[in-house]
Amino acid sequence: MYIAKLLAGTMFVLSSLYTSSALAGPEGKDAIWRAVHENPHRTTKEIERDQYRNPEQVLRFMGIKDTSAVGEVAPGGNWYTHILAPLLKDKGRYVGLQHNPEYYGKWPKWAEKLAAYPDEIRNNPDLYGTNAIGAFLPVTKGSAVEQGLLDVVFITRTMHNWQNQGRLDNGLKQARQLLKEGGTLAIVQHRENENYKGDRVSASKRGRWKQTDLVNVVESFGFKLVASSEINANPKDTKNYEKGVWTLPPSLALKEKDQKKYITIGESDRMTLKFVKSQL
């Protein structure tokens, strides 16, 4: 009787611990959790988009830690920067790989703004810490970003831009050079239907890639796909819109036209792919 009661009590304690752990999540309130959920640098509008972008799950899936050296390609409006930089500033290193201003000769105002990017990081230690680097991709001569520096190169919703702007080959080559051996190339990209009749050029003009095409191209540059996830899938996204992927939130390129319908659909269906640097 005593043994039975002891076993029952033990099972109850284990069950309670398991339940508490499950509710808290397998990692609990660790550095990633705090960077997403207890972060004063994130705005209310940014947090509202978590339902589509799932940043906590994405960072865990990609193996990013607070001790990682992570290069974020094309930070854009700093949505992910406001998560990554605070996460990495004490124990890791944030490296912003902004669009190279040399590509923007026809748009001098944009080139001027981009050229100031490294100074923006140096002048904002509250967000970035003192170990962060602001650089450009392609990396310019004399850059502080060295080959083999990074654990992760993180690319979100940018592969179509690389294709459209003729930067795909060089971008992937340099991403590989910047990664340590066995480092991770983390890609989140708007997804095209596999039965889409066009090639990757026309798909990219819609803001999308077929997943099979993207995997084949990336692997041809010395990477190997090791995992894929449906974290950012959206089955409501039919992928056929007048203004391509930009018809959907947050761009809403058609303005007021059918806006409620597109808001109901939500942000795009996205592939989430983890590659590692492999031997050529």
User: What pLDDT digit, counting tens, does each position of 72-84 carry?
Assistant: 999 989 999 999 9
Residue 23: pLDDT band (50, 70, 90) is: very low
In this prediction the pTM is 0.88
pLDDT, residue 12, reads: 37
Q: Which listed CATH number (3.50.50.60, 3.40.50.300, 1.20.1070.10, 3.40.50.150) goes with 46-277?
A: 3.40.50.150
pLDDT at position 16 over 60: no
* Domain range list for the chain: 46-277
In terms of average pLDDT, the best of 2-6, 28-32, 132-136 is: 132-136
- In tens, the pLDDT along 24-74 reads 445 469 999 999 999 999 999 999 999 999 999 999 999 999 999 999 999
**Cα–Cα dist 95/98, whole Å:** 9
Greatest alpha-carbon pair distance for the chain in Å reads 84
- In tens, the pLDDT along 147-202 reads 889 999 999 999 999 999 999 999 999 999 999 999 999 999 999 999 999 999 99
pLDDT at position 261 over 60: yes
As a whole-number percent, the residues of the chain with pLDDT over 70 amount to 90
- In tens, the pLDDT along 186-244 reads 999 999 999 999 999 999 999 999 999 999 999 999 999 999 999 999 999 999 999 99
